[in-house]
Amino acid sequence: MSTSLTWSLKSLLVFVSATWAATYTVSDTYIGQDFLNGFEVQNIPDPTNGRVNYVDAATAASDNLTFASSTNFVARADFTTILDPNGPGRNSVRLMSNKQYGLGSVLVANLNHMPEGCGTWPAFWTVGDQGTDWPNSGEIDIIEGVNNVGTNQGTLHTSPGCSMPTSRTESGTALQSDCDTAVNGNAGCGVSFNDPKSFGPTFNNNGGGWYAVELTDDFVKIWFWALGTSVPSDVSVDSSTIDTDNWGTPVAYFPNTSCSLSSHFGPQNIIINLTFCGDWAGAVYSTSGCPSTCVDYVNNNPADFENAYFDFISLTAYT
For this structure, is 306 an active site residue? Answer: no
For this structure, is 139 an active site residue? Answer: yes
Select which of 144, 170, 214, 306 is catalytic. Answer: 144
Three-class secondary structure assignment of the chain: CCHHHHHHHHHHHHHHHHHHCCEEEEEEEECCHHHHHHEEECCCCCCCCCCEEECCHHHHHHCCCEEECCCCEEEECCCCCCCCCCCCCEEECEEEEEEEECCCEEEEEEEEECCCCCCEEEEEEEEEHHHCCCCCCCEEEEEECCCCCCCCEEEEEECCCCECCCCCCCCCEECCCECECCCHHHCCEEEECCCHHHCHHHHHHCCCEEEEEEECCCEEEEEEEECCCCCCHHHHCCCCEEEHHHCCCCCEEEECCECCHHHHCCCEEEEEEEEECHHHHHCCHHHCCCCCCHHHHHHHCHHHHCCCEEEEEEEEEEC
Select which of 139, 170, 214, 306 is catalytic. Answer: 139
β 23-30/309-318 pair status: antiparallel
Which residues participate in catalysis according to the annotation? 139, 144
